[in-house]
Amino acid sequence: MHQLINFQDLNFLLYDFLNVESLLQFPRYADHNRQTFDAVIETAEKLAEKYFLPHNAKADENEPEFDGHQVKIIPEVKQAIDEYAAAGFIAARHDYELGGMQLPATIASAFQSYFFSANPGTAGYPFLTTAAANLISNFASETQKQQYLPQLLSGKFFGTMALTEPEAGSSLGDLKTSAKADENSDSFLIKGQKMFISGGEHQLSENIIHLVLARIKGAPAGVKGISLFIVPKFLVDECGNIKEKNDVQLAGLIHKMGYRGTTSTVLNFGEKGHCQGFLIGEPNQGLKYMFMMMNEARIGVGLGAASIGYRGYLNSLAYARERTQGRLPSNRDASSPPLHLIEHADIRRMLLAQKAYVEGGMALCLYAAKLMDEAEASPNAKDRAEALQLLDLLTPVVKSFPSKYATKANDLAIQVLGGSGYTRDYPVEQCYRDNRLNPIHEGTEGIQALDLLGRKLWLNDSTAFGQLIKLIKATIALTDKDDNTLQPLSHLLSDSVDRLSKVTRKVAQSLGSQQAGTIDKTLANASLYLDSFSKVVVSWMWLQQASLAQQKLTLTDTDAHQRDFLQGKMQAAHYFIEWKLPTVHHDLMLVEQNNAVCFSMQGSWF
Amino acid sequence: MHQLINFQDLNFLLYDFLNVESLLQFPRYADHNRQTFDAVIETAEKLAEKYFLPHNAKADENEPEFDGHQVKIIPEVKQAIDEYAAAGFIAARHDYELGGMQLPATIASAFQSYFFSANPGTAGYPFLTTAAANLISNFASETQKQQYLPQLLSGKFFGTMALTEPEAGSSLGDLKTSAKADENSDSFLIKGQKMFISGGEHQLSENIIHLVLARIKGAPAGVKGISLFIVPKFLVDECGNIKEKNDVQLAGLIHKMGYRGTTSTVLNFGEKGHCQGFLIGEPNQGLKYMFMMMNEARIGVGLGAASIGYRGYLNSLAYARERTQGRLPSNRDASSPPLHLIEHADIRRMLLAQKAYVEGGMALCLYAAKLMDEAEASPNAKDRAEALQLLDLLTPVVKSFPSKYATKANDLAIQVLGGSGYTRDYPVEQCYRDNRLNPIHEGTEGIQALDLLGRKLWLNDSTAFGQLIKLIKATIALTDKDDNTLQPLSHLLSDSVDRLSKVTRKVAQSLGSQQAGTIDKTLANASLYLDSFSKVVVSWMWLQQASLAQQKLTLTDTDAHQRDFLQGKMQAAHYFIEWKLPTVHHDLMLVEQNNAVCFSMQGSWF
């Protein structure tokens, strides 16, 4: 019994559902094969269980503390990350020349899920470091790469993303941190305060490389005047050797409900007037660079959410199989032995819902990761472009669906355990608290909804949306046969897709009006649209899995254990598509009629 | 701006919606009037703000600790409860002769909501004490009343409810704690372990009176063999003076995710073989006594949930009115000033949903409390019987709807605050953790669902259900007029009620079959039914409020502030009935077709 991620499921998702071996045809991944992929994933599972899982609760109970001199973190965190770095995981996707493994994002996501499941707080540090390394690798100068990249990829330096300010969160265009060209050097003088900076201060690494969004003096207002800077905690020479401390000060630690293992900080840049920052790329292009990496960060958030949900699911499943309580409603014999929880239909409902959310979320994140691989490494330019467009469209869904529904799964995990689930003696309450961050950071659910309905749908004349509908219809066609037991599911999905397409066209017309009032009113219900769109996409994930499971069940060499697993996939597809999908009709009707209940509510009426 | 409960809303619910002054006709409440009611509520608000609210976060951060000798609790808790007791709140509903105020449950619930909102952990102790006092007052002997009642009502002694055991939670019939008649006295020797006992050990009161469910040697198996005992921490003489310590030992404290201010304990009764318990009423009738008080306890849980939700709602509302961020989607001028959060439609959606859940939940709980008053104090026997039947039917809804939806409201409160909401610098994260207990204790949501669909609906030939439908239809008729702007809402509610009635008849047929398989399959989807039933009932609460608000808006003496409030009521009714109610059609369809996705799922398929 796997306790972090079910390897049988991961196997099914990678090799059956996604046919990840198709990526081996790309020159970048040519040296790999299924064995190397599996070896990496197995190593991850072992490291996660040995070094990450054991201190998950301890790090939660003993959150980072500032003692007046430095931020203290329990020693197990550093040990775990050192092991992670030593195994090459920070550099997993990077070039061989940089010490990387040139692994596809799909495989990187698969192994990463074990660490997120075992200990999202500790896994946060290398995750941010990988993200910073990717940004530098893609957009920084050769000198900058030389200074920072090897140190980040080896885990000697850690990275952060310093975007949010006290007055600029969802609205990044309002950020105030300033950058002034230093006449005496090639650097800029940075001044400002950043907030909610994860991993902003600690003693886990020799240096911390902050990637800071700031506004160069005289730059245009809003997002068009934002530049990106490398601001190291310690300045470094050309070879990345550490020099004197930079003017970056910890202003305070933020105390969170969950994810407590990851320090969250308020940082002051340039309090003493000499904080040096080094411009990445061109001035005023900072948000563009940041957002080009955002697909990956947002898949990471979705994957983290799905993984934490997965941990709760497996934990409550194990509990439901062991714990006995009560009898079937029809059984009035008080002296008969009590049943295992899993024999109660309502417990199975809560387990099935969790399974549908977390395995569906995992399928979605891995699918997005594969699109990223195709967008980056396919030798065919048209394939690259198509994959990127589809990925862009799906990113708000990949970020928000698991964040919302895997958190619901964690809620259900508590409910399966009952009173025990509400105590700190079981891990499910921490999962619930940890996962609650995910609908907030890296763009709240409301921001994702506006990104989808206000922007992503309409890029390139909605090519990506058309492509998505085509792909979904192809899956429907596979199972839409009278003798197929999945036909009812294909019909339900077909009805929803048609409805979604129709409502999307209607929205396009409203937005096309170019009238401010109409635009605002139409986008007022973006969250409803995002939720419906997401349910359609995840239903598609499930119908594909069910269809595959159905095929594999007809094979004679499928053993009993595998048959059980495949039956479970079919049942979870039934659950999601029969129980959860059909509510989109009501929600899309509200979108279609531009229902104005929220839009017309007045602040003074509350 | 009220921060705990909006007094304007409470006023509207008590005097307009419920016409609570009609209770003044009952002899028991004859000495009261609107002024005495308001005075009690205002006193509660003041005490809650002065003594309960300030240490809510502190008690959460410094949960009760056992130092090897005693359970340590921060001193503010005792001070607050002493003030509460001194104001007469523990005895609020009891007879004048006992030092009580003879207040209706409706008013008691109204004042109690302030304490639950301010500090549910501290409010837990007197709530349990009141419940224990009620049980003793209703079922114990005159001698027992003399020994314990004055002490409980004055707050000198505190009470607990000791039901759950390590192996008997939802299935109380399996409890093992034994009671053996002591040949040397009128007492029983109690032996066993109880778990999750709130307020089970502390130094807040001179004595703790445990009401313990146990099985007398030789009693029948299951719920029919359970008796109820008074088991005091310290034995008392006939006048309630404290004697020697009884054999009740603290086996451990339980550490919870929230509600940390209330100790949760494991208690060993009779470890040394001489734990004395005193039988209440007749042997083997214990569960009946306990459940006759359960209506009140379950209303209390629903009210507590609604109140915690209310606190989060008011806090996020205040934040949304102060905090500025971003602009309308149509505004591309980055130099224009940012808007208050409340100007964003998606923020208003989250505030409206909270308002609909918590004010709807509060209306429901107060309505149930008024039914309790009618059932207890109406001079007319038929009215008493009808009120009790309706209350019995609604109790699972009153317990579960606020527990589920006010917890969702707390989730939305966090989302309104964004990153700040996830920190411990704001109260909303604690509300979210505290409220998560409510869908679990006093009967989980699944247990409530079985209670409704397996039992309550069918009592007395479904008289209560028929009465409920009649009442709802009367409200619908009020607003079902072509020139009434609420007509669309009345139609939506009418459609849902018809659907609910139809499906209920169908379920009745299935259950009537008496076949075990059919019964289990039908009850498998009880949670879906409960949720739909609850949404219909709460929509009824909202349509009544909207209809009243509409009438009051036509009055010329309604001032601007009041008009705003009434418009808000109308809008929240639109939100709940247009956005949330219509999903019952899909869920009830699953119930109607006996959808077997969960029922037929096999444990081995997970």
A593 — pLDDT class (breaks 50, 70, 90) = very high
**CB-based contact, B335 to chain A, within 8 Å:** yes
Are A432 and B257 inside 8 Å of each other by CB? Answer: yes
The mean pLDDT value for B594-601 works out to 97
What is the chain A residue with the closest CA to B348?
A: A598
Are A603 and B445 inside 8 Å of each other by CB? no
Among B434, B597, B602, pick the best mutation site for testing chain A contact (most A Cβ within 10 A).
Answer: B597
Per-residue confidence band for A294, with pLDDT thresholds at 50, 70 and 90:
confident
Contacts of B198 in chain A (CB under 8 A): none
Please write the tens of the pLDDT for every residue from B134-163: 999 999 999 999 999 999 999 999 999 999
A257:B432 CB<8 A: yes
What confidence score (pLDDT) does residue B2 get?
A: 79
Query: Are the Cβ atoms of B603 and A441 closer than 8 angstroms?
Result: no
Cα separation, A467 vs A457, whole angstroms: 11
In whole angstroms, give the CA distance from residue A154 to residue A240. Answer: 12
Closest C-alpha to A207, from A254, A161, A244: A244
Q: Which residues of A touch B601 (CB under 8 A)?
A: 348, 351-352, 568, 571
A10 contacts chain B (CB < 8 A): no
- Is B375 in contact with B358 (CB distance < 8 Å)? no
**Burial grade of B69 (CB within 10 A; 0-12, 13-18, 19 or more):** exposed
pLDDT digits (tens, 9 = 90+) for A136-189: 999 999 999 999 999 999 999 999 999 999 999 999 999 999 999 998 888 999
Contacts of residue A340 in chain B, CB cutoff 8 Å?
603
Average pLDDT, chain A: 97
Whether B599 sits inside 8 A of A449 (CB atoms) is: no
Q: Which of A410, A597, A599, A600 to mutate to test the interface with B (most CBs of B within 10 A)?
A: A597
pLDDT band at B514 (very low <50, low <70, confident <90, very high): confident
Note the pLDDT of residue B60: 98
For the ranges A45-54, A208-217, A300-309, A511-520, which has the lowest average pLDDT?
A511-520
Mutate to test the interface with B, among A347, A451, A520, A598 (most CBs of B within 10 A): A598
Alpha carbon of A410: minimum distance to chain B alpha carbons (Å): 12
Instruction: Please tell me the predicted confidence (pLDDT) of residue A293.
Output: 79
Instruction: Provide the 3-class DSSP secondary structure of residue B554.
Output: coil
pLDDT at A334: 93
Residue B65 has pLDDT above 70, yes or no: yes
Look at residue B100 in the predicted model and tell me its pLDDT. 96
Nearest to B254 among A344, A415, A423 (CB): A423
Residue A563: closest C-alpha in chain B: B605
Taking Cα atoms as reference points, which of A398, A541, A519 lies closest to residue A450?
Answer: A519
Q: Say if residues A397 and A526 touch (Cβ distance below 8 Å).
A: no
Taking a C-beta distance cutoff of 8 angstroms, is the pair A203, A151 a contact?
no
The position carrying tokens 């109204």 is B110
The tens digit of pLDDT for each residue in B455-481 reads 999 999 999 999 999 999 999 999 999
Neighbours of A185 (CB within 10 A): 10
Tell me if chain A has a CB within 8 Å of the CB of B574. yes
The 3-class secondary structure across B370-386, one letter per residue, is HHHHHHHHCCCHHHHHH
Residues of B in contact with A529 (CB under 8 A): none
Cβ contact A256–B340 (<8 Å): no
Say which amino acid occupies A170. Answer: S
Give the pLDDT of residue B173.
94
Q: Do A597 and B352 touch (CB under 8 A)?
A: yes
How does B467-496 read in b/e, with b if 16+ C-beta sit within 10 Å?
ebbeebbebbebbbeeeeebeebbebbbeb
Chain A environment of B422 (Cβ under 8 Å) = 256-258, 436-437, 440
Q: Which residues of B touch A415 (CB under 8 A)?
A: 439-440, 444-446
Nearest CA in chain B to A224: B334
* pLDDT single digits (tens) A91-144: 999 999 999 999 999 999 999 999 999 999 999 999 999 999 999 999 999 999
Predicted confidence at residue B1, as pLDDT, reads 63
Give the B window 468-497 contacts with A, CB below 8 Å: none
Mutate to test the interface with A, among B485, B598, B604 (most CBs of A within 10 A): B598
- ∠ CA A9-A12-A17, nearest 5°, is 130
Checking if the pLDDT of B59 tops 70, the result is yes
Give rounded-to-5 percent helix, strand, coil for chain B.
60, 10, 25
- Out of A422, A439, A524, the one facing B415 most closely (by C-beta) is A439
Say if the Cβ atoms of B342 and A605 lie within 8 Å: no
Q: Do A605 and B564 touch (CB under 8 A)?
A: yes
Average pLDDT over residues A10-17: 98
Q: Taking CA atoms, what residue in A is nearest to B573? A: A597
Which positions 305-334 of A are in contact with B (Cβ < 8 Å)?
Answer: 317, 321, 324-331, 334
Q: How far apart are CA B78 and CA B156, in angstroms?
A: 11
Residue pLDDT, tens place only, B517-536:
999 999 999 999 999 999 99
Average pLDDT for residues A197-218, to the nearest whole number? 98
* pLDDT value at B123 more than 80: yes
CB nearest B171 (choices: A338, A349, A517): A338
Does B517 touch chain A if contact means CB atoms closer than 8 Å? yes
CB contact under 8 A, A348 and B519: no
Give helix B345-377 / helix A445-454 axis angle, nearest 10°: 130
Q: Which of B201, B296, B442, B592 is catalytic?
A: B442
Neighbours of B584 (CB within 10 A): 26
Average of per-residue pLDDT across A491-497? 98
DSSP helix, strand, coil percent of chain A (3-state; round to 5): 60, 10, 25
Contacts of A444 in chain B (CB under 8 A): 415, 418
Is pLDDT of A204 > 70?
Answer: yes
Q: Which residues are CB-neighbours of A45 under 8 A, at least 6 positions away?
A: A2, A4, A5, A7, A114
Give pLDDT, residue A1.
63
Interface test with A, best of B328, B346, B440 (most A CBs within 10 A): B346
pLDDT the model gives residue A295: 80
Closest-approach residue (CA) in chain A for B430: A257
Instruction: Supply the residues of A annotated as catalytic.
Output: 442
Q: What is the pTM of this model?
A: 0.98
Q: Which residues of chain B does A348 touch, with a Cβ-Cβ cutoff of 8 Å? A: 598-599, 601, 603
> What DSSP string runs through A412-461?
HHHHHHGGGGGBTTSTHHHHHHHHTTTTTSSS-HHHHHHHHHHTGGGGGG
Encode pLDDT of B240-279 as tens digits: 999 999 999 999 999 999 999 999 999 999 999 999 999 9
ipTM, two decimals, is 0.98
pLDDT, tens digit, for every residue of B304-353?
Answer: 999 999 999 999 999 999 999 999 999 989 999 999 999 999 999 999 99
Q: Is residue B337 left, alpha or beta, with left meaning phi > 0 and alpha meaning psi from -120 to 50?
A: beta
* Predicted pLDDT at B314: 98
CA–CA separation, A18 and A40 (whole Å): 18
